[in-house]
Amino acid sequence: MTAALPPALSQSLELGLGDGWAKALQQLRNLDLGGMGLMPQGGDPPQVGFAPGKLLQIQQDYVREASELWNQTLQANFSLKDKRFKGDAWARNPLASFSAAVYLLNARTLMALAEAAEGDAKTKARLRFAVEQWMAAAAPSNFLAFNPEAQRKAIETKGESLAKGVQNMLHDMRQGHVSMTDESLFEVGRNVATTEGAVVYENELFQLIEYKPLTAKVHERPFLMVPPCINKFYILDLQPENSMIRYAVSQGMRTFVVSWRNPDESLAAKTWDNYIEDGAIQAIRTVKDVTGAEQINALGFCVGGTILTTALAVLAARGEKPVASATLLTTLLDFTDTGILDVFIDEAFVRFREMQMGQRGLMAGKDMASTFSFLRPNDLVWNYVVGNYLKGETPPPFDLLYWNSDATNLPGPFYAWYLRHTYLQNDLIKPGAATVCGEKINLDLVDLPVYLYGSREDHIVPIGGAYASTQVLPGKKRFMMGSSGHIAGVINPPAAKKRSHWVRDDGKFPRKVADWIDGATETPGSWWTDWSDWLKSHAGKQVAAPKAYGHAPRYKALEPAPGRYVKAKA
């Protein structure tokens, strides 16, 4: 038996929903997308309409679910599947459970409205993103007055948790970002980035680190890793047990890594061309000089892969092919499918950034880190607001989150060029559309074996975007799909025996990633062993491992790894 809605509640929810419904629609139409960073200030507001039939269905669904919620209230029987409200304190507090249930109903309805909006695809995507941000911020769990877990802890600790929460908040305000881990427990070079090596070359953009061999013999063809310059390289060298750098060294690779400098005002005028010529190309040449090898193998991760491939295209245009094989991890070359980041990019936004910092300036690391965090607001923002401030907790130590908080700046001209010629215009896949270091870029000339990796749940480089490189690179290819996201999918050592990977050995690369997946085989565990076997097939014979770093007299050990560049703070 169910009870009727109270008259006041029924009247507010009846079809038409009166002023409340009209206000909800108006709020959705008038969301401040500019204030949320989704369009430049002063831009024309997006035009959003709604089909009457869809609105009617959403209204009916809302009334039906509200009626069901009211009956659950009478029976004190709430089913809250959202992990934010799964704690025992929520279940034992009817008022808190009801507020959470109402919030979830409103969130579903607003998202349904966003989906029902009529407009161009970009505006709809921005509207969905804005509503997601709005609802994530409005969750009752984010407020002490509505969070029974935080209230119970305050009572149990006699207010100590609230005092600690205030201390945590003041600490985070001073450091400029929300703490995701206990950062005091980590130090670069002491307990992260600890693989033994030495800096053998540096210029104003990067230090080149050579790592000490762990095997008596190494492959004759050296191996260079180019990490993204929007993060620090030690994501590849967090702890010995999950270090991709250490793994490569243990597999007999004479391994070198680019450690990008964290830009300050002295680098504020550096361009994309500088990072290609004086960064990636210089690193390739230096590794060749140090080792005496005619060709090397190289790996690029994320933006590092885009930089590496652009450098290979420049070298190919000059008639040079110093790299025998390339590995690209979660890398975009074709920027057709850029996932959620596409909501930020349009001509007005890019022109605004060009005016702001196209000639000189810095894209602040904290701003970039904040943007990436809000791509997953519940997991990377509000989760820590609740734990750190409302409950007064210290987040547990986690090396990956320490790295995630260690922000890097970007030179403004580099950033502006990257926005326009990749995310906005997708020039890299159009032969001759982009000129870099005086050369017309043509990826058809980058004809070498490549190992391409994408993560299935990646929200920064969607799996379709990573796979798209199979359609634009002409050489022999192997594509690997791993589970999990942008970082966890990559940093998945064999010893952990976690996750799965997918590959197919028929050499077919259909246009759509979904069709490739249909023919792929799932294998439990890490993809690193498959990649290592592939890399060894391109690394040449084994020779005696070098006894010293560098190559005297020109290249000497300048300082121990990880060097000083990686320790500079944004």
* Closest C-alpha to 97, from 82, 75, 116, 78: 78
Per-residue pLDDT, averaged over 194-204, amounts to 98
* Closest C-alpha to 566, from 276, 183, 192, 179: 192
Ranking 34-43, 233-242, 330-339 by mean pLDDT, the lowest is 34-43
Per-residue pLDDT, averaged over 501-507, amounts to 94
The mean pLDDT value of the chain amounts to 90
pLDDT digits over 403-434, tens only? Answer: 999 999 999 999 999 999 999 999 999 999 99
State the DSSP code for 386: I
> Phi and psi (nearest 5°) for 102?
-65, -45
* Closest C-alpha to 223, from 176, 174, 143, 284: 284
Structure confidence at residue 121 (pLDDT): 83
CA distance 517 to 464: 11
Choice among 287, 302, 401, 448 that is catalytic: 302
| Residue 151 clears pLDDT 70, i.e. is over it | yes
Domain ranges of the chain: 7-151, 197-341+422-497+526-567
| Residue 465 clears pLDDT 80, i.e. is over it | yes
Confidence of residue 143 (pLDDT cuts 50, 70, 90): very high
pLDDT digits over 17-73, tens only? Answer: 334 445 555 555 555 555 455 554 445 555 667 777 888 888 888 888 888 787 776
Ranking 92-101, 190-199, 355-364 by mean pLDDT, the lowest is 92-101
| Residue 531 clears pLDDT 80, i.e. is over it | yes
Per-residue pLDDT, averaged over 266-295, amounts to 98
Residue 527, both tokens = 């993809």
Q: Which helix (H) or strand (E) holds 270?
A: none
Do 552 and 344 contact (CB within 8 A), yes or no? Answer: no
pTM (global) more than 0.85: yes
CA distance 161 to 156: 9
Per-residue pLDDT, averaged over 111-135, amounts to 88
DSSP string for 1-62: --PPPPHHHHHHHSTT-HHHHHHHHHHHHT--TTTTTSS-TTPPPPP-EE-HHHHHHHHHHH
Do 529 and 494 contact (CB within 8 A), yes or no? Answer: yes
CA 81, chain centre distance (Å): 27
Do 366 and 176 contact (CB within 8 A), yes or no? Answer: yes
* 437 in active site: no
Q: What percent of the chain has pLDDT over 90?
A: 75
CATH 3.40.980.10 given to domain 197-341+422-497+526-567: no
